[in-house]
Amino acid sequence: MRNIHSTKTPKKATNLSLNSELLAEAKRLNINLSATMEKALEKEVSQRLKAEWLEQNAKAIEACNELTEKHGLFSDSYRVF
């Protein structure tokens, strides 16, 4: 997955509330909480941006698909498969 945000952007300290048992286990396993959270947040933001884009463009995508079904693709006559 490509980064959607610059890796050069400065970090900002924040507070999170986490399950205490899960946090203790993560610390025991030497899990880097900042890096893990950043990866998880990057994935979640990416998924939501994709969903948002699809919702915003649903009508245009539907219109394009209808046009293709009705008229075909310009390259249909050149297909060899």
* Domain assignment of residue 33, given as a range: 20-74
**pLDDT at residue number 68:** 92
**Run of H or E including 79:** none
What count of other Cβ atoms lies within 10 Å of the Cβ of residue 18? Answer: 11
Q: What is the DSSP letter of 5?
A: S
In angstroms, rounded to a whole number, what is the distance separating the alpha carbons of residues 56 and 53? 5
Q: Which is nearest to 16 in space by CA: 39, 28, 31, 34?
A: 34
Give tens-digit pLDDT for 4-55.
Answer: 678 788 999 999 999 999 999 999 999 999 999 999 999 999 999 999 999 9
Kindly state whether residue 2 falls inside one of the protein's structural domains: no
Phi/psi at 67 (5° precision): -60, -40
Provide the pLDDT confidence category of residue 75 given band limits of 50, 70 and 90: confident
Number of domains in the chain: 1
Kindly state whether residue 57 falls inside one of the protein's structural domains: yes
**pLDDT at residue number 2:** 60
Kindly state whether residue 11 falls inside one of the protein's structural domains: no
pTM attached to this predicted model: 0.72
Kindly state whether residue 58 falls inside one of the protein's structural domains: yes
Kindly state whether residue 81 falls inside one of the protein's structural domains: no
